[in-house]
Amino acid sequence: MDVIVDIAQGRLRGQRGAVTSFLGIPYAEAPFGALRFTAPTAPPRWEGVRDALTLGATAPKIGYRPPTSEILSEPVVAGDECLNVNVWTPDVESSGLPVFVWIHGGAFVNGSNAVPIYDGAAFARDGVVAVTVNYRLGADGFARIEGAPANRGLLDQVAALEWVRDNIAAFGGDPAKVTVAGESAGAMSVGTLLSMPRAEGLFHRAILQSGAGNHVITEATAGKVATALADALGVSATVEGLGSVPIENFVDAQRELGDRVTAEAPTGAWGELAFNMMPFEPYIDGDVVPDVPISRISAGAGSEVDILIGTTSEEFAFFLVPAGVAGYVDEARVRLVLGAYGVDVEAAVDAYRAQLPDATPGELLIALMTDWFFRIPALRIVESRASRAFVYEFTWRSSLFDGKLGACHALEIPFVFDVLDKPETARITGPNPPGKLAEEMHRAWVDFVRDGSPGWVQYGSERSVMMFGEQSGVADDPRPSTRGVWAGVR
């Protein structure tokens, strides 16, 4: 059944079923033509009733390659109006409902709000207005381009949050009860938003899944990447130069540059990118991103925002197991990586070996890279704050790759959204994932969005962490010896 609401832009037609959905709503003008590489504009207006019955356009992106493309769904929806949101609501006649705003992951070069497992219906079913956001990716969103505002992808996210503030009441939501959430690059975005003056007051709680406040690059590195991209295309690294390149060629060049960075990173040619491995990500520009987000957060930015933050147990298995890399790692490689990270190599090897006495070198590498990239940055956000913070770890292991994929990166998402019935879920979980765990996690997220407490104690002096798995429960200070490896380093 159709349902119509009035928002600031005009009248909007959605579809009512068990919950009511409005899809593909533009929160800014299409960022192409004269608006290419500009800050997001004011939302477009229309006469009459606009249909919001189908998913909106997705932003240009490089796409996943096998084996990642076999694990993650990456739909492409044609069109220019890629700066759009989807909204699911229990009832447009409601008022004062809490709001959950989801920022997707994808290493800042992939992803969209059209991914099937980001369906917000279960949140709406449980009394929450859910919003999923698209933003510009890759060089369109994050390259340092002469004549263009910095970090346009983050400005898009701010514009989407402003749209929520101004319009969510029409869908039954309360603009004073907004939780912003994300996973991977989406969580890194949330960590950055926590630190950004432009985002202040636009959200009141935050959920960070497998991402925190460490992953930005310097302006110099961003400039080097943009110059390399422009040189490969035979144009200048300016709005005029890069804007003259057809979108398809522009995306192809970004993919090729990403491959080049990956291949050359071990030589030191790309500096800090040898660690982050994301050539297009937020950079410190002194304005939109004033400083490294964790530094700003430690100094008090976002201190009024309650936080739910966590990781999966074997995040980096996602990147090393499907590609077959984990099986070729030896002890020398483990020591080389630890040395590059700047820790006491012998002490670190001893700590990880004591924690995982039967692990292969590849499994040790997964553990330490999981900690450097995800677990320790998450804990640093919690440790830097006086306001309420809750920590979780997802321990349930996928059955794929003979079980070696483990509790990998992105595995918890379908549990959080309670969408285990979707066929795309089995591509990462394997068959028959436990419905009880999805019920537990989804309920915790709903409770946090609604009340600010997911149902377990704050992190605090006991370092309490909810371990979500076959038998979920709170553990105090899990794996303290490997946590200590990174003291003063990460």
Residue 129 lies in a domain: yes
- Does a structural domain hold residue 76? yes
**One of 81, 162, 281, 315 is an active-site residue; which one?**
315
Residue 384 pLDDT level (bands cut at 50, 70, 90): confident
Q: What is the pLDDT of residue 276?
A: 87
Counting residues of the chain whose pLDDT is more than 90, the rounded percentage is: 98
3-state secondary structure of 99: strand
Does 90 score more than 70 pLDDT?
yes
Check whether residue 257 and residue 398 sit in a common domain: no
Q: Are residues 163 and 27 in the same domain?
A: yes
The predicted-structure confidence for 106-141, as pLDDT tens digits, reads as follows 999 999 999 999 999 999 999 999 999 999 999 999
d(CA 195, CA 206): 12
Q: How far apart are CA 271 and CA 221, in angstroms?
A: 8
What mean pLDDT is reported for the chain?
A: 97
**Calpha distance 209→42 (Å, rounded):** 30
| Residue 68 · residue 88 · CB < 8 Å | no
Residues 6+ apart with CB under 8 A from 490: 214, 341, 371, 372, 376, 377, 380
Q: Are residues 406 and 360 located together in one domain of the fold?
A: yes
pLDDT for 266 beyond 90? no
Give mean pLDDT, residues 375-381.
97
Q: What is the pLDDT of residues 50-85, one digit of tens each?
A: 999 999 999 999 999 999 999 999 999 999 999 999
Active-site annotation holder among 73, 112, 184, 189? 184
User: Would 203 be classed as within a structural domain?
Assistant: no
Q: Measuring CA to CA, which residue among 118, 50, 57 is closest to residue 418? A: 118
> How does residue 222 score in pLDDT terms, banded at 50, 70 and 90?
very high
pTM over 0.95: yes
What does the block give as tokens for 114?
């059209």
- Clarify whether 184 is annotated catalytic: yes
Q: What are phi and psi of 225, to 5 degrees?
A: -65, -45
Active-site residue 215, yes or no? no
Same domain, yes or no: 325 and 452: yes
Q: Which of 133, 155, 183 is the last residue of a domain?
A: 183
The model's pLDDT over 231-260, given as tens digits with 9 standing for 90+, comes to 999 999 999 999 999 999 999 999 999 999
Does 126 share its domain with 248?
Answer: no
Task: Note if the bond before 67 is cis, omega within 30 degrees.
Answer: yes
Domain identity same for 223 and 177: no
Are 13 and 162 part of one and the same domain? yes
Whether 250 and 125 map to the same domain: the answer is no
Pull the structure tokens for residue 485.
């490896």
Active-site position among 104, 204, 215, 409: 409
Which of these, 85, 113, 55, lies nearest to 171 by C-alpha position?
85
Which residue type does 132 have? T
Residue 138 lies in a domain: yes
CA–CA–CA angle 445, 451, 457 (5° rounding): 75
State whether residue 433 is helix, strand or coil: coil
Cα(302)–Cα(300) distance, integer angstroms = 6
93 lies in the same domain as 147: yes
pLDDT at 279: 96
Query: 257, 276, 295 — which closes off a domain?
Result: 276
Is the residue at 442 inside a domain? Answer: yes
Has 315 been annotated as catalytic? yes
Last residue within a domain, chosen from 183, 199, 228: 183
pLDDT at 386 over 80: no
In a domain, 40, yes or no: yes
Q: Which domain holds residue 257?
A: 219-276
pLDDT tens digits, residue range 18-37?
Answer: 999 999 999 999 999 999 99
- Tell me, yes or no, whether 413 and 360 share the same domain: yes
**Residue pair 86/25 in contact by the 8 Å Cβ criterion:** yes
pLDDT of residue 273: 95
Spatial CB neighbours of 401, under 8 Å, sequence gap ≥ 6: 321, 322
Please give the Cα distance from 99 to 123 (Å, whole number). 9
What CATH code is carried by the domain that includes residue 388? 3.40.50.1820
* Site of tokens 């765990």: 437
What total of structural domains would you count in the chain?
3
The answer to whether position 384 is within a domain reads yes
C-alpha dihedral sign at 312, 74, 181, 23: negative
Are the CB atoms for 28 and 42 separated by under 8 Å?
yes
Q: Are 206 and 196 in contact (CB under 8 A)?
A: no
Mean pLDDT over 209-216 rounds to: 97
CA–CA distance, 285 with 308 (Å, rounded to integer): 28
Residues 355 and 479 in one domain: yes
Residues 250 and 341 in one domain: no
Residue 51 is assigned to a structural domain of this protein: yes
